[in-house]
Amino acid sequence: MKALVYHGPGNKKFEDVPKPLLRETTDAIVRISKTTICGTDLHILKGDLSTVAAGRILGHEGTGVIEEAGTGLGHFKKGDRVIISCITSCGRCESCRREMPSHCENGGWILGNTIDGTQAEFVRIPYADSSLYHLPDGGDEDAMVMLSDILPTGYECGVLKGCIEPGDSVAIIGAGPVGLSALLTAQFFAPAKLISIDIDDNRLEVAKQFGATHAINSSDGKGAEKVMALTGGAGVDVAIEAVGAAATFGICQDIVAAGGHIANIGVHGAKADLHLETLWSRNVTITTRLVDAVTTSLLLRTVLAGRLKPRQLITHHFALSDILKAYDTFGNAGREHALKVILTAGPAASP
């Protein structure tokens, strides 16, 4: 089969590799229908994630059809259409039983990290019973790919950790796919002010279409000042960091109101300063979280009901065989006005 293989920093190839086989009775082999590229994959290609070894197939998002089901599976069988969660959950360990499968002893974020991922014609999914979701008939399959990672990530790490309440003022720093997912799901809680901050005017325009009440371009270094002016000097109840940089975490600390929350989503590859000299007396809560994907069912129901419309996050479509072109487009997201790209595997995918 063909797959996108990581060969060390800056080096990837779309090449022939052996088709995955069942290893445990709780595995499933999924024939990929749709997959996508994540900002995390770009981090891997930069060499930021030491857990990813050369030779690894990348990708942790997608949908597909079960090609082979292990004999130990109870919820899934050959031929079932499925959504793949970016988080593998054994369902039994202490972390899984605490609704924290991101730290599953036997799973967590392993797809496209420590085991081969979804940017391929086939993928092996361990603990398939608790790591896959049935793809409902009539569901928009492209939109369902957003349930693998970015919608639960924006919702769990940003919105839920930020404890957004009706009438709150909320600022989301970063209007990439995950920041926009937080922006979409923050609206479940009817915040009064929903401020999107980015350095890209096109993304800010998209944020406004997605429901932001205010859009602030922070490329002049005055993002925090503008938020303070907008909130009458009080700052925001919830500041969500969706970039993963010291500067944007700095903005969060500058704009959080007394009693407020800073919810970090971003993947930080370098250190960021924590200004306790200004925050120590401010009754502020700062949170971090790796997505647990424990809200996937809830989000799926919301999408099916038409209350959440993740298709708007998709800007580009490619065949899986054009994945290198898709990486170029996604890697130049600003120039290409790209958010999420959908890769569709060909019907004649070779075994």
The footprint of Zn ion (CB under 5 A) covers: 38, 40, 90, 93, 96, 104, 149
Question: Considering beta carbons, is residue 61 or 237 the nearer one to Zn ion?
Answer: 61
Token pair of 63 as six digits = 């949908």
> Is the separation of the CB atoms in 217 and 191 below 8 Å?
no
Dist CA 167 CA 237 (whole Å)? 10
Question: Considering beta carbons, is residue 172 or 224 the nearer one to Zn ion?
Answer: 172
What does each C-alpha distance from 206 to 117, 187, 267 come to in angstroms?
30, 15, 22
Give the nearest distance from C-beta 171 to Zn ion in angstroms: 23
Question: Considering beta carbons, is residue 20 or 107 the nearer one to Zn ion?
Answer: 107
Residues 6+ apart with CB under 8 A from 66: 28, 29, 30, 31, 76, 77, 78, 79, 80, 82, 128
Question: Considering beta carbons, is residue 106 or 202 the nearer one to Zn ion?
Answer: 106
Give the nearest distance from C-beta 93 to Zn ion in angstroms: 3
Give the nearest distance from C-beta 68 to Zn ion in angstroms: 23
Question: Considering beta carbons, is residue 96 or 345 the nearer one to Zn ion?
Answer: 96
Give the nearest distance from C-beta 338 to Zn ion in angstroms: 15
SS3 call for 182: helix
Dist CA 196 CA 264 (whole Å)? 15
Task: Give the number of other Cβ atoms within 10 Å of residue 189's Cβ.
Answer: 18
Question: Considering beta carbons, is residue 36 or 218 the nearer one to Zn ion?
Answer: 36
Give the nearest distance from C-beta 39 to Zn ion in angstroms: 7
Give the nearest distance from C-beta 73 to Zn ion in angstroms: 16
- Please classify residue 280 by burial: count the beta carbons closer than 10 Å to its beta carbon, then call 0-12 exposed, 13-18 middle and 19+ buried: exposed
